[in-house]
Amino acid sequence: MSEKTIIDEQTIKEHNLTLDEYALIQELIGREPNLTELGIFSLMWSEHCSYKSSKVHLKKLPVTGKNVIQGPGENAGIIDIGEGLVAVFKIESHNHPSFIEPYQGAATGVGGILRDIFTMGARPIAAMNSLRFGPLDIPKNRSIMDGVVSGIAGYGNSFGVPMVGGDVYFNDCYSLNPLVNAFCLGLAEKDKIFYARAEGFDNAVLYVGSKTGRDGIHGATMASAEFGEDLEEKRPNVQVGDPFKEKLLLEACLEVMDQGLVVGIQDMGAAGLTCSTTEMAANAGTGIEIDLDLVPQREEGMTPYEIMLSESQERMLIVAEEDKVERVQEVFAKWDLDAVRIGRVTEGGRLHVKWHGETVVEIPVDSVVNLCPAYNREYSPPSPPQPIIENTTISTPQNYKEVFLKLLTSPTIANKEWVFRQYDHMVQTNTAFLPGADASLLRIKDQKRALAITLDGNSLYTYLEPRSGGKIAVAEACRNLACVGATPIGVTNCLNFGNPEKPEIMWQFKEVVEGVAEACQTFDIPVTGGNVSFYNDTKGVSIHPTPVLGIVGMVDDIDKAVSPGFKEEGHIILLLGENKDELGASEYLRWVLREEKGRTPQIDLDYEKRVHQVCLDAIDQELLFSAHDISEGGLAVCAVECAFLSPTNMGCSLDLRSDLRPDVLLFGETQSRILVTISDKNLEAVLALAEKHKVTAAVLGTTGGDTFKISVNDLSIFEVPVLEAYNAWKQAIPEYFKVR
Amino acid sequence: MKIRVLVSYKDSVLDPQGQTVKNALHTLNYDCVKDVRQGKVFELELEEVSPEKVEEVIPEIAHTVLANPIIEKFEWQVIEE
Amino acid sequence: MKIRVLVSYKDSVLDPQGQTVKNALHTLNYDCVKDVRQGKVFELELEEVSPEKVEEVIPEIAHTVLANPIIEKFEWQVIEE
Amino acid sequence: MKFGVVVFPGSNCDNDTLHAVRDVFEQEAEFLWHKDHDLKGSDCIILPGGFSYGDYLRSGAIARFSPLMQEVKEFALKGGIVLGICNGFQVLLELGLLPGAMMRNKNLKFLCQHVYLRIENKDTPFTQAGHEGQVLRIPIAHFDGNYYTDRKGLKELERNQQIVLRYTNEEGYLTEEANVNGSLDHCAGLMNKAGNVLGMMPHPERASEAILGSRDGRLIFQSIINYIHHT
Ligand SMILES: Nc1ncnc2c1ncn2[C@@H]1O[C@H](COP(=O)(O)OP(=O)(O)O)[C@@H](O)[C@H]1O
Ligand SMILES: [Mg+2]
C-alpha cells in the first residue's frame, strides 16, 4: 500500500473522528487504515453522511403509507401518485458553503438537490428554497442574501427548473450562519425508477459528467463542524457550479435510463466517489473495484486521497451491463459528456481502489456505510427555561395604522418579489400559481390533476417551544396546501440545528422531531426523507432550531384550485377557526416591540385537521373564491395580503367582534385559521360544512373599496389606503438593496 | 491615473466558462488552443492619489470588492500614470 | 505560449456593471475612484504555433468569438512565450 | 404546416415550445438537433429559449456556431420564417440575422415577470392576427435582454418599422418603468428588414394556455400559422 503516513492523534482529530471511532475502524478493517482509507471513513462517518447524532430520533418519524414507494434512505423519497406516475422529492441544506461563498454555495446546493432527483429517473419539474438571513441593515447580511439569491437563480434558471416558491425569514441568529435549504420535486414513470445499487457481478462501473478536481475536499466534514476562528483556512473548500453541464447530465442520464441501459446510478454529491462507490455496493450487497488512473481528472498530480474525497460537481456513477456500455457512451457523447469505465462490480462486499498499479484502498463497504456508531447524545432543556411573557406587560399600540404599516415592512412579512423575480418560475410551462400563493401549483400536462408544494418553518416558535413549533411547522405547511385545495401526500424535511454535542441543542432536536412526528401522524402523511444540518453555530452561538418542512399535495381538479387574492367586490370574508388570546412568539412582538418572547400559539392538531377539511370540502364544492392561511403577522396581515394579491389592490372592511385586546386580535398568531371569501349565496353551505366538522366560522366583513378598514366591536381601529399599505409591503426589501 | 485589475479563478477552481469557450474553439478547428481561462478585468480611473496610496488601496479594493478571495485571485498594474 | 485577450465595451456603450462597482466603492468611501469599466479577460494557452500564426489567429478568434464587435472592442498581448 | 424547434445543448424551453405548437395549436412539429444539417421540411424554424452553452461567453454566442445554424441561415436568407424566443433572439443577433446586441438588464438582475407589449407593426408574419397598438401580456425571463444598437442602426430600424413589439405599461404607454430591462427604444421584438425573421425576448409559449395566466402569446403562433397557410 502506498501513502504510508503514520496516523497519529492529530490526524485523527483533523478528520473529525474520535479516538473510539478510530479504534472501531481498526477493528472493522482488521488493521491500521492508510490515510486515504481514513479520509473515506472520516467522510462517511461524518455527521453529514452518517446521521450519527440524529438517527435515534429520526426513527420516530412516520415513514410508511400505502403510496410510499421509497421512504428515507435513498437519494430522494418517492410517492405513487397514480396513473403510472410517481412524485420524487427531497430537501437538502447547503448552509455552510453558502456562508463562505454565497453565490457558489447556494448554486451548488441547487445543483445537488437536482441530481438527487434525476438520479432516480425523475425529471425535476419544480424547485423551491427556504432561506434564513440575519437582519438586512447589516451590509454583510445583504451581500449574503444577494449572493445566495443570485446563486440559486444562476443555477436553477440555466438548468431550466422553475423555482416556484419558498420562504425567507430574517433573524439575528442567522447573521453569521445563514440557512439555504433547497427543495426539488420531480416526476417519473412508475416503471422507470432507478436506485443507487451496484447490482450484478462484473457489471461495468462508469464515471459520467465533469472531470474531477481538487474541489471541496472535506466539504462533508466541514458541514459537520462548528465554525471557529479558523474560518479563513476552510475557505478553499467551495466548488464552482456548472449548471450547463448539469443540464447535459440530466438529459443524458434520462436518455440512458429511458433506453434501459442502467442497472444502478448514484450522484456524486458530498463525499463524491467515496460515497457513490461504497453506498451503491453496500445497498446491493456487492463490492466495487475501481482504478483511479481511469477517473477523468481536471488537475495534474492528484493523490488517491484527493480523487476519492473530491466533491467536484456534476458527476454521476453508473452501473451498467457490459454489453450496454457502448450505448451508454454513445448517449453521453451525443451530449458532449465523458462516460468512462473506471471499474466493475465485484463479489465480497469490499471497496477495492487501485492507483498507479497499486492497491490504495481495500475495505469492507458495509463498515463504511452502515457501521458508523450511532449516538444517543445527552439532552436537557435549557435552564432557565424560555421566559414567558404576559400580555399585561405588553403595552398596546398608540397608533394602530403606524404599527400595522411597520409590521408590513418586516422583511419576514414583506413582499418577496425582489427574490422570486430573479428566479425563472415559469419555465416548463406548468406553473399555474405564480409565487405569492400559499402553495405553488403545478399542473401535470394532459391531466386534470395538479401537484401543490410548500415550504414552512417558523424558527421563532421552535426556539421558544420546540415541540409545539415542530407541530406548527407541519400544520402550517398542510394549511398552505389546504388553502389551494390540495391534500398532503408526502413530507420531506430539513432540520437545521446547532451543535448536537450541546445537551440543550440535542433537546431542541428531540423535541422538534417528536413534534413533527406527532403532526405527521395526525395528518397521516409519510415522511419520505430529508436532511439534518447540525453545527450551525458560529463562534459558539447557535441558530434557532430551524426545521423546514417541505410538503407535497395533490389537487384532484386543477380548475377548482383557489388562490389567496380577493376576487371581486362584495364578497363575504369568512374566518374558519378561532381567535385566541395568543400574542407570544409573534412577528409583531419581534419586529415592532423587539421581543423574542412568549409562549408560541398552542395547537390542537385534530382541530387543525378539521379546519383543513372544511376548506378542502368547500373548495371541492366550488364554494370559495379565495383562501389564505393566517400565519406571521396574524389576521390583519393575512387580510391585507388578500387585498395585495387581488387583481386590483381591492380593499375590504373587517368588522370584528371579540373580547380580545385589539392588538392580540389583529396581530396574534393563533393557529388553525384560514380566511376565505365567498358569495352571499354560498354562506350557508360553508357554515354548514364548518358545523359538520365542528369548526368555528364567523363572518368578518366584505371585500371592496380601495381602503383596508378594521373595526372591533364597532370601534374603528384604523383605515389605510390599500395602495399605501401595498407600497410599504412591496418596497421594504428592495429598499435595503437600493444603491445609495 | 488608470489601474487595471485582472480577476480570475484560482488555478485549482473549475472554470466552466473557459472550458466552454475552449470547446467552441475546437469545433471551429482552432486546435492550437490547449486551454482557456476566463476572468474579469476592471479599469479604474483614480484621481488625487499618491503612488503609495495606490499601492495600499488597490489590493484592498481588489481583495474586498472586485475579487472573491475564496475562489479568485487577482493581479493589477498601472496602465496610465 | 500564453496569450491574454482583453474584451471590453466600446467607449460609446454604457457599462452598467462598471457603474455598479463604482457605486459600491463609493459607499465604502473609496472616493478616489472616479470611474470603473468592467470587461472580460481570456487567457489562451497555445501550442505548436509560430508567432506569425498567432498574429493571424488571435485577432480572428477575438473578433469572431471572444468579442461581439457591435458593442465590444478587444486588445491582446503575449504574456508568456 | 410544420414547425421545427431547434435544440441546442442548454436549451430549456424546447419542450415548452414544442408543446405549444404541437399540443396547443395542433400543428405538425419536430425537434431539430443542433449537430444535424436537416431542417426536416419545416415551414417555420423556432429557436427556443434557454441557456444554450450555458450562456457562457455571451448569451447565444456559442450556439451560432452549431452546424444546423448554417441551414437556418440559408433558410432565413431565402425568406423562410424564423422565430427566435429569448435565448433564440440572442442567437439570431449573434448570428447576424438581426442587427444589434443584447446587454445585461439595466438592474443587473435576472428578471422573470409578466410584461406588457404593444404591437407596433401588424403587417408581419408574426403579428398579423393582431392590430396595431394592441397590448399583450406575456412573461419574460432573462438576464440579457437590454437591447442595444448604435444610433444609425436605430434610425434604420425605425425607418423600416423593424421594431415589432415594444415594452409598455398596461395601457400601452411607453413609460420608463415598463421598460424593465432598459432596452433601447423599448425594443422587445425585432424583425429583419425582409420581414421574415423575428426575435422577441418575451415567451409566447408561456402565455398560450389559460391555466398559465395569459393566452396573449397565442397571437404570435396564430399569426405564423395563418401566414404559412396563405402562402
Ligand atoms: N426563497 C423564496 N423563493 C421563492 N419564492 C419565495 C421565497 N420566499 C418566499 N417566496 C414566495 O413568497 C410568498 C410569500 O412568502 P411567505 O411570506 O414566506 O409566505 P407564507 O409564510 O404565507 O407561505 C410565497 O408564495 C413564497 O412562495
Ligand atoms: Mg402561509
CA of A436 to the centre of ligand 2 (A): 10
To the nearest whole Å, the CA of C46 is away from the closest chain B CA by 5
**C48/B contact by beta carbon, under 8 A:** yes
**Alpha-carbon distance C20 to C29, whole Å?**
14
Whether D127 contacts D219, CB under 8 Å: yes
* Structure confidence at residue A727 (pLDDT): 98
* Structure confidence at residue C80 (pLDDT): 87
Task: Using pLDDT thresholds of 50, 70 and 90, give the confidence band for residue A384.
Answer: confident
Distance, CA of C28 to chain centre: 26
Task: Using pLDDT thresholds of 50, 70 and 90, give the confidence band for residue A2.
Answer: very low
Grid cell of C64 as nine digits: 469572431
Task: Using pLDDT thresholds of 50, 70 and 90, give the confidence band for residue A586.
Answer: very high
Q: Residue C49, SS3?
A: coil
CA of A724 to the centre of ligand 2 (A): 23
To the nearest whole Å, the CA of D110 is away from the closest chain C CA by 14
CATH of domain D2-229: 3.40.50.880
Q: What is the mean pLDDT of residues A450-478?
A: 97
Give me the architecture of the B2-80 domain, per CATH.
2-Layer Sandwich (3.30)
Grid cell of A99 as nine digits: 456562508
Q: Residue C70: phi, psi to the nearest 5? A: -70, -35
* Structure confidence at residue A231 (pLDDT): 40
Question: Residues near ligand 1 with C-beta < 6 Å?
Answer: A 129, 131, 163, 165-168, 416, 419-420, 423, 435-438, 480, 631
Which residues does chain A have within 8 Å of residue C20's beta carbon, measured at their own beta carbons? 739
Q: What is the mean pLDDT of residues A528-534?
A: 96
Burial class (CB in 10 A: 0-12, 13-18, 19+), A174: buried
Burial class (CB in 10 A: 0-12, 13-18, 19+), B77: exposed
Task: Using pLDDT thresholds of 50, 70 and 90, give the confidence band for residue A662.
Answer: very high
Q: Which chains touch C (3 or more CB pairs under 8 A)?
A: A, B, D
Residue C10 has pLDDT above 80, yes or no: yes
Residue A714 has pLDDT above 60, yes or no: yes
Whether A661 contacts A586, CB under 8 Å: no
Over the Cα atoms of chain D, what is R_g?
A: 16
| Residue located via cell numbers 441546442 | D8
Whether A555 contacts A447, CB under 8 Å: no
**Alpha-carbon distance A708 to A724, whole Å?**
10
* Structure confidence at residue B40 (pLDDT): 97
| Chain C residue whose CA is closest to B35 | C45
Helix (H) or strand (E) holding C33: strand C33-46
Q: What is the mean pLDDT of residues A575-583?
A: 97
CB contact under 8 A, D55 and A158: yes
Q: What is the mean pLDDT of residues A89-108?
A: 95
To the nearest whole Å, the CA of B44 is away from the closest chain A CA by 19
pLDDT digits (tens, 9 = 90+) for A606-639: 999 999 999 999 999 999 999 999 999 999 999 9
Whether D178 contacts D115, CB under 8 Å: yes
Which of A149, A407, A413, A416 has the most ligand 1 atoms within 8 A of CB, as the residue to mutate? Answer: A416
Over the Cα atoms of chain B, what is R_g?
A: 16
The type of residue at A106 is A
Alpha helices in A101-218 (DSSP H): 102-118, 139-159
Task: Using pLDDT thresholds of 50, 70 and 90, give the confidence band for residue B11.
Answer: confident
* Structure confidence at residue A5 (pLDDT): 61
Residue A526 has pLDDT above 90, yes or no: yes
* Structure confidence at residue A390 (pLDDT): 75
Q: Between the CA of residue D217 and those of D123, D165, D203, what are the distances in Å?
A: 17, 12, 7
**Alpha-carbon distance B75 to B66, whole Å?**
11
| Cα–Cα nearest to A131, from A154, A117, A151 | A151
- 3-state secondary structure labels for all residues of chain D: CEEEEEECCCECCHHHHHHHHHHHCCCEEEEEECCCCCCCCCCEEEECCECHHHHCCCCCCCHHHCHHHHHHHHHHHCCCEEEEECHHHHHHHHHCCCCCEEECCCCCCCEEEEEEEEECCCCCCCCCCCCCCCEEEEEEEECCCEEECCHHHHHHHHHCCCEEEEEECCCCCCCCCCCCCCCHHHEEEEECCCCCEEEECCCHHHHCEHHHCECCCHHHHHHHHHHHHCC
Residue A104 has pLDDT above 80, yes or no: yes
Residue A464 has pLDDT above 50, yes or no: yes
Q: Which atom of ligand 1 is nearest to the CA of A417?
A: 12
**Alpha-carbon distance A281 to D29, whole Å?**
44
pLDDT digits (tens, 9 = 90+) for A544-559: 999 999 999 999 999 9
The pLDDT profile of chain D, 231 residues, written as one tens digit per residue, is 999 999 999 999 999 999 999 999 999 999 999 999 999 999 999 999 999 999 999 999 999 999 999 999 999 999 999 999 999 999 999 999 999 999 999 999 999 999 999 999 999 999 999 999 999 999 999 999 999 999 999 999 999 999 999 999 999 999 999 999 999 999 999 999 999 999 999 999 999 999 999 999 999 999 999 999 998
Residue A640 has pLDDT above 80, yes or no: yes
pLDDT digits (tens, 9 = 90+) for C59-68: 999 999 999 9
**Alpha-carbon distance A569 to A190, whole Å?**
46
pLDDT digits (tens, 9 = 90+) for A507-521: 999 999 999 999 999
Which residues does chain C have within 8 Å of residue B21's beta carbon, measured at their own beta carbons? 42, 65-66
How confident is the prediction for chain A on average, in pLDDT? 94
Angle between helices A139-159 and A102-118 (to 10 degrees): 30
Q: Is D44 known to be catalytic?
A: no
Residues near A709 by beta carbon (within 8 Å), at least 6 away in sequence: A651, A652, A653, A654, A701, A716, A718, A719
**A629/B contact by beta carbon, under 8 A:** no
Check: pTM over 0.90? Answer yes or no: yes
**A431/D contact by beta carbon, under 8 A:** yes
**Alpha-carbon distance A68 to A63, whole Å?**
8
Which residues does chain B have within 8 Å of residue C29's beta carbon, measured at their own beta carbons? none
Whether D120 contacts D163, CB under 8 Å: yes
The type of residue at A677 is T
- For CA atoms A550, A556, A557, A562, give the dihedral sign: negative
Residue A230 has pLDDT above 70, yes or no: no
**Alpha-carbon distance A673 to A612, whole Å?**
9
Q: How many residues does chain D have?
A: 231
Q: What is the mean pLDDT of residues A96-111?
A: 95
Q: Which of D35, D57, D68 has the highest number of chain B CBs within 10 A, making it the mutation to test binding with B?
A: D57
Q: What is the mean pLDDT of residues A348-375?
A: 96
Q: Which of D90, D91, D103 has the highest number of chain C CBs within 10 A, making it the mutation to test binding with C?
A: D103
Task: Using pLDDT thresholds of 50, 70 and 90, give the confidence band for residue B48.
Answer: confident
Task: Using pLDDT thresholds of 50, 70 and 90, give the confidence band for residue A163.
Answer: very high
For residue A66, the 8-state DSSP code is T
* Structure confidence at residue A233 (pLDDT): 40
Report the catalytic residues of A: 48, 94
Cis status of the peptide bond prior to A384, with omega within 30 of 0: yes
The type of residue at A146 is D
Domain boundaries, chain B: 2-80
Whether A482 contacts A500, CB under 8 Å: no
Whether D199 contacts D92, CB under 8 Å: yes
% of chain D exceeding 90 in pLDDT: 99
pLDDT digits (tens, 9 = 90+) for D116-149: 999 999 999 999 999 999 999 999 999 999 999 9
**B36/C contact by beta carbon, under 8 A:** yes
Domain boundaries, chain D: 2-229
* Structure confidence at residue A226 (pLDDT): 55
Residue A352 has pLDDT above 70, yes or no: yes
CA of A132 to the centre of ligand 1 (A): 12
Torsion of CA A17, A21, A23, A24, to 10 degrees: -140
**Furthest-apart CA atoms within chain B: distance in Å:** 49
Which residues does chain B have within 8 Å of residue D65's beta carbon, measured at their own beta carbons? 24, 27-28
Q: Residue B32: phi, psi to the nearest 5? A: -70, -15
Torsion of CA A655, A659, A661, A663, to 10 degrees: -40
Residue B33 has pLDDT above 90, yes or no: yes
Burial A540-571 (b: 16+ CB within 10 A, else e): eebbbbbbbbbbbbbbeebebbbbbbbbeeeb
Higher pLDDT, A298 or A162: A162
* Structure confidence at residue A216 (pLDDT): 75
**Alpha-carbon distance A92 to A119, whole Å?**
15
Q: What is the mean pLDDT of residues A458-476?
A: 97
**A323/B contact by beta carbon, under 8 A:** no
CA of A413 to the centre of ligand 1 (A): 9
Task: Using pLDDT thresholds of 50, 70 and 90, give the confidence band for residue A229.
Answer: very low
CA of A433 to the centre of ligand 2 (A): 14
Burial class (CB in 10 A: 0-12, 13-18, 19+), A356: exposed
pLDDT digits (tens, 9 = 90+) for A198-210: 999 999 999 999 9
**B16/A contact by beta carbon, under 8 A:** yes
Burial class (CB in 10 A: 0-12, 13-18, 19+), D173: exposed
Task: Using pLDDT thresholds of 50, 70 and 90, give the confidence band for residue A215.
Answer: confident
% of chain A exceeding 70 in pLDDT: 96
* Structure confidence at residue A270 (pLDDT): 77
CB contact under 8 A, B17 and D57: yes
pLDDT digits (tens, 9 = 90+) for A264-273: 999 997 789 9
Which residues does chain D have within 8 Å of residue C68's beta carbon, measured at their own beta carbons? 58, 61, 94, 101
| Cα–Cα nearest to D28, from D61, D1, D67 | D1
Distance, CA of D93 to chain centre: 11
**Residue A381 CB coordination number (10 Å):** 14
